[in-house]
Amino acid sequence: MNEFVPLLGLETEYGIIREDLEDSDPVEESMKLLKSCAKKSVFGKWAYSQENSHQDMRGFKVRSLAQDEEEDAFCAEDRKRPYSYLEMKCDRVLANGARYYNDHTHPEYSTPECNSLFSLVAHDVAGERVVAESAKIRNQELGGKAVQVFKNNTDYSGHSYGTHDNYLVPRDIPFDLLVKGLVPFMVTRQLYAGAGKVGSENSGAKSYKGLQLAQRSDFIENVLSIETMTRRPIINTRDEPHASRNRYRRLHLIMGDANMSAYATALKVGSTMLVLNLIASGAKLPDIELNNPVEDSLKVSHERNRNAILKKKSGDSITAQEIQEAYLEAIEKNLSGRDKESDWVIQEWKRTLNELKHSPEKLSDRIDWAIKEKLFSDFIESENLDWDDPMLQSLDLEYHNLDPDRGLYRGLEQEEEVYSLLTEKEISQAIDFPPEGTRAKIRGDAVSREGEKIKSIHWTGVEFENGDVVDLTNVISQEDVEKTHVTG
């Protein structure tokens, strides 16, 4: 049995628009949003020399990525701007251990590394608050509400931007085993993790009419790929552990949606963490190998009854819900009773699958696609519209708007019509402080206490102006944190 390391993180790229300009520049707007961030942070000191996105988990290094070509195109355009590369990135490392920066045309918030599920969810929601506060300050400068920011994954113009969940896993788990165990699960995870989407932008399904389960499924093209911006895969093969390469992998999953519901985020990440625990334990995995998992990803998202029938390589058929039930059964048998968080995930996973099968209307207080389905169906009926009315896509975007006066999910929160997983105290704690017992605690405290003395900073370390270096590569556990001394 392998020891599974509970180190988790979420990266979210936010959509941004400037409504008072016909042709606004998202690079400029993202920069100005980031410069409006009032949280204590270290600005412009991110150590890009530590980045290495070209190593593949399948044992080779790629010479170039499609994103490199796009980067070159951006650079050619960016040379016309009066800013350096680092100025455009506007990198911030916050006192809570998070990274907040401009990913070219999107503000991106990467949570600190967390060692518990609910801590991660709190830090994800903290990211929403930080981004929303930045937008509020920026709009105060503009004298209105021209800048709007969205926690979603599509602009309805053919572009998709990501929400990536990350898990530190032992290096000695064979990569092929991870793929075998994860693919059927990931294809069907959208049954409860999908954020919902009106219509389709997939080139082969543009005639789709209605609400599909997920936003990213339109853009999945491969089972495995190192790419993230084109040829997007079910399992990303980038081998950039941000930890000891000999001991760990960082599983970087790019197929997930941006959830407004913290409950859905918890179920999404928690179920995935348990599947990884199941793989690591050496227990028998569900015997499921799909015949065409890429095609199935879209099929599951588009299926009207939310229970697509999929073909296995053996020739047999299996439903999306049966796949999830098979994983849940194996996890309940092997992993029940380990800790409170795992038991919560098992309990809520079982409850959600049961309600999906027998009374899906009960999901409309906590699963994003189901919340949208009820909200938009009621609107269609009251306004005598159809699902292909352009207004529905506008409402879809507004569901994800972070503005408390405009965001549809924010309105449902204020009316207490959606499930509240977190307390305001837990969210406030995550906004200001790093998670205890993690290397993010060291990084965040360095920013908070010695920020003006920091020369460079990264997930794996902090370098101070006086030459002191804090190496966080092998800092994983509470014991590692206690042994690490920070000077500067």
Structure tokens of 456?
A: 């460079």
User: Pairing state of beta strands 220-225 and 232-236?
Assistant: parallel
- Look at phi and psi of residue 18 and say left if phi exceeds 0, alpha if psi is from -120 to 50, else beta: beta
Query: Of 220, 193, 192, which Cα lies nearest the Cα of 204?
Result: 220
Q: What is the DSSP letter of 204?
A: T
Distance from the Cα of residue 411 to its chain's centroid: 23
The shares of helix, strand and coil residues in the chain, as percent rounded to the nearest 5, are 45, 20, 40
The values of phi and psi at residue 77, to 5°, are: -70, -40
Closest CA to 251 of 330, 179, 323: 179
**Amino acid found at 183:** V
Q: Are 349 and 328 in contact (CB under 8 A)?
A: yes
Q: How many Å is the maximal CA-CA distance in the chain? A: 68
Q: Which residues contact 289 (CB under 8 A, 6 or more apart)?
A: 180, 184, 312, 313, 314
Distance, CA of 197 to CA of 373 (rounded, Å): 9
Distance CA 431, CA 124 (A): 9
Catalytic residues: 103
CB 117 within 8 A of CB 273: yes
Chain centroid to Cα 21, Å, comes to 29
For residue 287, give both structure tokens.
């015997």
DSSP single-letter state for residue 126: H
* Measured distance CA(448)–CA(70) in Å, rounded: 35
Identify the burial level of 452 via C-beta atoms within 10 angstroms of its C-beta, where 0-12 means exposed, 13-18 middle and 19 or more buried: exposed
Helix (H) or strand (E) holding 16: strand 15-18
Torsion angle of alpha carbons 41, 103, 436, 431, nearest 10°? 60
